[in-house]
Copies of this chain bind each other. A is one copy, B any other.
């Protein structure tokens, strides 16, 4: 098959009818987005203010003042690049000062992006009015030269772009751009798109390889993939060039971050580039072998790299993407699709270091892994990418949000003892219950934007092919070889693997490729149409399997003339399966976890009593597991009753801490396991994913 441009479907082209995902999307629309709007406006009682609207409004006033020739008062703290102390209880904030994190502007950008995705699904709701208010505030906050970062606009503007490593201006550019593209797609309005273009042009005027420019690039990546979207949306090549420059320049010697630091602090000599692994700037991206540093940044960078590799056909860059994927997924990934094992730097740890209780596994990093996976699927459709993207979405991404959409996890451990988290500073980063909102509120709006745009992860298309990566029920309109086709997907994933794809309307020649999930041991795909033929056997890369299917890289390719009435029946078996990790993973030696379909399961104290470490699961008996439906947080779901063995506790006081080994005093019992994403929805209690065998 020749190389084709593969892109996600438009959210407009898919009508979600999926019981599971529609509920999540509606939760975001009804709960998360309105709550976040209140948060952006500092109107949530008892929650830390976001300061987003405050900062935007103040920046607009600063611009207006400066336009009319007035001097804008800058606080002493801002003068010294220190943060404004928060107002004392009962005191009003200084209306002219910037509050919150350096990257606070992005809170609202992400919110606008989520709203836009929801508007594509449900146009004309009142959300557009709210979002327009936010968009107007942003446009008013933009400085006349295109610069847009309220921290500097309200502080010492002359120091803008003097600390790209730490000060997140290009991160703000990236999120602004993502929001602007989504807002444009949803409403056709160009206001925010122009703001993003102007800020991008401002950045391009300062940064680059040309004489007189700084050779800077983002300290926190995202602008790379955002600028690709801006290029796609506007067709303006200069945005693609800027993205490419950011990718290519990153990690070159002499290190820009080091030079910048030297200049800023008057250091005698710059540091080596290798000091900047946290930022993935320790060496040029094409030379990076291992995924390192801040996990969200790393995943965002890789997403941008995969975009660029696809668009430019740069095989060296594609190879780097594959290496970094392998490093992230096959050496540093949790079985929940979480990445970033250490809270120190919110970062990837060394290979195979995957502790359960001190895990960081930030929700946003898992979202980033899904971004990366989707882009690898655009680069080269292989089911390994789809498997991991699906795993991340169904497990850690959803774990990040309570089933009622009202509280959130930033950190997603694989075992949790609430008492330990409360008492132990070594677990200070692990919260045993989801939080309403965070000062650093990156995760909740990030969940909102990925859930709201789920169809873009489920389906990609090229001129003549539709790829189905995730089996999300709904109606899809695609164009194959210029002919429109309307299809229906029925699916009850993640609970059942029976999927049907039916052509409702139209007639088109082309290929439909369906992912054969890695979790299905005997996937059966039956095209119920004479028109479809399996992909030609003269393609040497395509093997015909025993059932006559035509499979390549984990996708079944079906080519022919598709017309109303055609359908494809799929039956992906999802046996309850004990999984093991490679022996290299110290933490998991002699342990298993339980998987069913795309869902990783966990046990909670609520169902099983505390001290979950007393249980072990004989792997050969997992097949006897009894599946039943239980309602958790109002959501019916399949829970597992797994045959297991529990060690009895000795009588208190009787036994010494250490004693000669005796055969363990154990009893057979049934361990109730629930989907990992549903944990901690019934009050604070113990949780555990991995069990001794």
> 1/0 per position for A301-315, CB-CB distance to B under 8 A?
000000000000000
A391 to B, closest residue via Cβ: B658
With A423-B350, A426-B344, A657-B331 in contact, is A647–B589 under 8 Å at CB? yes
Q: Which residues of B contact A616 (CB under 8 A)?
A: 590
B661 near A420: Cβ-Cβ < 8 Å: no
> Is A584 part of the binding interface, using a Cβ–Cβ cutoff of 8 Å?
yes
Known: A353-B420, A423-B350, A661-B579. Is A611-B584 also a contact (CB below 8 A)?
yes
The A325-348 residues at the B interface (CB cut-off 8 A) are 329-331, 333, 335, 342, 344
Residue interface bits A553-584, CB-to-B below 8 A is 1, else 0: 00000000000000000000000011111111
- Asked whether A656 is an interface residue with its Cβ less than 8 Å from the other chain, the reply is yes
Rounded to whole angstroms, the CA-CA distance of A692 and B622 in the bound complex is 21
A657 touches B330 (CB 8 A): yes
Tell yes or no: A649 within 8 A of B by CB. yes
Complex-state Cα separation, A63 to B645, whole angstroms: 72
Contact partner of A661 (CB less than 8 A), chosen from B583, B589, B592, B658, is B592
**Does A659 interact with chain B (Cβ within 8 Å)?**
yes
Which of B579, B590, B647, B662 touches A658 (beta carbons < 8 Å)? B579
- Within 8 Å of chain B (Cβ to Cβ): is A655? yes
Q: Take A344-B425, A616-B590 as given contacts and tell me if A580 and B650 are in contact as well, using a CB distance cutoff of 8 Å.
A: no
Size category of the A interface is: 35 or more
> CB-CB < 8 A to A582: which residues of B?
650, 655-658
Q: Which listed residue, B589, B649, B662, B664, touches A614 by the CB 8 Å rule? A: B589
Please report the C-alpha to C-alpha distance between residue A121 and residue B400 in the assembled complex, in whole angstroms: 66
A358: interface (CB < 8 Å): yes
Contact of B590 with A333 in the complex, beta carbons under 8 Å: no
Does A368 touch B at the CB level, under 8 Å? no
A586 near B: Cβ within 8 Å? yes
A157 within 8 A of B: no
Would A647 and B350 be within 8 Å (CB), given that A330-B657, A335-B658, A344-B425 are in contact? Answer: no
Are the CB atoms of A659 and B580 closer together than 8 Å? yes
Residues on B with C-beta less than 8 A from A589 are: 613-614, 647, 692
CB within 8 A of A590: which of B331, B425, B692?
Answer: B692
A583 and B659 contacting across the interface, CB-CB below 8 Å: no
For this complex, 11 residue pairs linking A to B, each with C-beta atoms less than 8 Å apart, are: A342-B425, A342-B426, A344-B425, A349-B424, A577-B661, A578-B660, A579-B660, A580-B659, A581-B657, A589-B692, A592-B661
On A, residues with C-beta under 8 Å from B are 329-331, 333, 335, 342, 344, 349-350, 353, 358, 417, 419-420, 423-426, 577-586, 589-590, 592, 611, 613-614, 616, 619, 622, 647-650, 655-662, 664, 692-693
